[in-house]
Amino acid sequence: MSEPLLAFLYFFILLTAVVAVLLDDLLSSFISLSVTGVLMATVFALFRAPDVALTQAIINSGLVTSLFLVAYSQTQRTPSPAGECRECPFWLRWPGAALVSSLFAAVLFRGLYVLSGDRIPGSTSAHYLSQTLEETGALNVVAAILLDYRAFDTLGETTVIFTAVFGISLLLSGGKYVHSGHGLSFIVKRGMALLTPFILLYAASILFLGHLTPGGGFQGGSVFATVAILICVVYGTNFEAARISPKSKETFEAGGAMLFVFIGLLGIAWGGGFLANLSGPFPAGTPGSLFSGGNMLLLNLAVGMKVGAGLSSIFYTMIKILELEDDSWPS
Partner 1 sequence: MAVMSFLTVSLLFALGLFTVLSRRNVFKTVIGLTLMESAVLLLLISWAYIPGGSAPILPLQGKGVDPLPHAFTLTAIVIGACDIALAFAFIMKLNRFERSVNVDDFRRLKG
State which of positions 168-227 bind partner 1 (CB under 8 A). 168, 171-172, 213-214, 218
Q: Using N-to-C axis directions, what is the helix angle for 186-208 and 217-235, rounded to 10°?
A: 170
Question: In this complex, which beta carbon is closest to partner 1, that of residue 83 or of residue 197?
Answer: 83
Among 150, 204, 246, 272, binds partner 1 (CB under 8 A): 150
Give the dihedral sign, CA 191/194/200/202.
negative
Minimum Å gap between C-beta 191 and partner 1 is 27
Question: In this complex, which beta carbon is closest to partner 1, that of residue 192 or of residue 313?
Answer: 313
Among 35, 132, 180, 301, binds partner 1 (CB under 8 A): 132
122 binds partner 1 (CB under 8 A): yes
- Cα 236 to Cα 20, 40, 115, 193, distances in angstroms: 30, 32, 53, 14
Minimum Å gap between C-beta 190 and partner 1 is 31
**For residues 53 and 103, what is the distance between their CA atoms, to the nearest angstrom?**
31
**For residues 144 and 121, what is the distance between their CA atoms, to the nearest angstrom?**
17
Could you say which residues in the range 18-47 bind partner 1, by CB under 8 A?
A: 18, 20-21, 26, 29-30, 33, 36-37, 40, 43-44, 47
Minimum Å gap between C-beta 138 and partner 1 is 8
Distance, first Cα to last Cα, the chain: 54
Single out the segment in contact with partner 1 by CB under 8 A; choices: 136-144, 188-196, 254-262, 264-272: 136-144
Single out the segment in contact with partner 1 by CB under 8 A; choices: 70-78, 199-207, 243-251, 270-278: 70-78
Size of the site for partner 1 (CB under 8 A): 105
Q: Using N-to-C axis directions, what is the helix angle for 296-322 and 186-208, rounded to 10°?
A: 150
Collapse the DSSP code of 47 into the 3-class scheme (helix H, G, I; strand E, B; otherwise coil) and give the result.
coil
Question: In this complex, which beta carbon is closest to partner 1, that of residue 85 or of residue 195?
Answer: 85
Please state the three-class secondary structure of 203-214 as a single string. Answer: HHHHHHCCCCCC
Could you say which residues in the range 73-112 bind partner 1, by CB under 8 A?
A: 74-75, 78-86, 93-94, 96-98, 100-102, 104-106, 108-109, 112
Minimum Å gap between C-beta 80 and partner 1 is 6
Minimum Å gap between C-beta 35 and partner 1 is 12
Among 42, 60, 205, 238, binds partner 1 (CB under 8 A): 60
Minimum Å gap between C-beta 93 and partner 1 is 7
**For residues 160 and 306, what is the distance between their CA atoms, to the nearest angstrom?**
11
Minimum Å gap between C-beta 287 and partner 1 is 8
Residues 6+ away with beta carbon under 8 Å from 316: 228, 232, 237, 240, 241, 246, 249
- Cα 250 to Cα 1, 204, 238, distances in angstroms: 44, 20, 17
Taking every pair of Cα atoms in the chain, the longest distance, rounded to a whole number of angstroms, is 69
Could you say which residues in the range 270-299 bind partner 1, by CB under 8 A?
A: 287
